[in-house]
């Protein structure tokens, strides 16, 4: 890992996990209805890792991304924003995450509601570093600027209120909580119009195998629909599939 920028304690900037094989990520990208399929696979393994798009709203409908999580945590500061602004006290340092980003990463931020964790300039840095986009439990701003550079974000809120005077960046590549899901650096992030799934790194291959099995079964059903097979026969076929 490159030297830090000195904005977050060195001991709180953890090494990035080993990369996930590109062909594995490519197979995730090829899945139909990717978050729905991944969510079903996570259910089969008893893993709670899905957040719907009614909570994590996409800024760029129609986009789909798959990549390892580059995690970042912001914590609220105790001092008043007006005082920090007057004194120029800015402890927000998401640039530390951009500094260690690898191409294909997805920035995952634990932030504050209705307070921006990432704006246009920060998104431009992430885009330049090869990040695919971001997922934010908290606010974002400068949405038009992010769209202009093709940097999709899924966030719980959008607000022009800056985080500069309100949060401190406390950890990079540590655990973060996104809604009800605990996310670790290197977990696979899958996001589309329907929501966001976080696949624990240790389960990436098993989840993918289940997903591909689900898609194969659904394709068989789709072929039956196209072939004008009766609903009764399709339903009987589904019962046999679930029994396997």
**Is 75 labelled as part of a ligand binding site?**
no
**Known binder of ligand: residue 201?**
no
* Contact between residue 100 and residue 2 where contact means Cβ atoms under 8 Å apart: yes
148 CB neighbour count, 10 Å cutoff: 12
Question: Is 135 strand, coil or helix?
Answer: strand
DSSP β-bridge partners for residue 76: 167
SS3 86: helix
Distance CA 236, CA 221 (A): 11
How far apart (Å, rounded) are the C-alpha atoms in residues 127 and 73?
Answer: 19
Instruction: Please give the backbone phi and psi of residue 62, each rounded to the nearest 5 degrees, phi first.
Output: 95, -10
Token pair belonging to 179: 């809604």
Beta bridge partners of residue 161, listed in sequence order: none
Q: Which residues are annotated as a binding site?
A: 141-142
Q: Which residues are annotated as a binding site for Mg(2+)?
A: 142
Q: Which residues are annotated as a binding site for substrate?
A: 141
């Amino acid at each position: 890992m490159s030297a830090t920028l000195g904005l977050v304690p060195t001991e709180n900037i953890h090494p990035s996990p080993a990369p996930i094989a590109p062909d594995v990520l490519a197979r995730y990208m090829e899945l139909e209805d990717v978050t729905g399929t991944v969510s079903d696979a996570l259910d089969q393994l008893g893993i709670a890792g899905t957040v719907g798009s009614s909570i994590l709203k996409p800024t760029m409908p129609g986009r789909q991304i798959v990549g390892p999580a580059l995690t970042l945590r912001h914590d609220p500061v105790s001092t008043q924003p007006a005082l920090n602004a007057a004194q120029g006290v800015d402890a927000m340092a998401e640039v530390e995450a951009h500094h260690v980003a690898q191409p294909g990463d997805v920035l995952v931020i634990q932030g504050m509601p209705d307070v921006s964790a990432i704006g246009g300039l920060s998104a431009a840095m992430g885009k330049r570093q090869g990040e695919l986009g971001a997922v934010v439990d908290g606010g974002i701003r400068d949405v038009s600027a992010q769209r202009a550079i093709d940097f999709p974000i899924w966030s719980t809120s959008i607000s022009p209120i800056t985080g500069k005077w309100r949060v401190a960046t406390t950890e990079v590549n540590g655990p973060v909580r996104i809604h009800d899901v605990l996310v670790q650096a290197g977990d696979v992030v899958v996001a589309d119009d329907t929501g966001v799934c976080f696949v624990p790194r240790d389960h990436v291959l098993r989840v993918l195998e289940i997903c591909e099995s689900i898609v194969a079964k659904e394709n068989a059903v789709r072929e039956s629909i196209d072939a004008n097979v009766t609903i009764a026969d399709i339903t009987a076929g589904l019962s046999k599939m679930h029994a396997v």
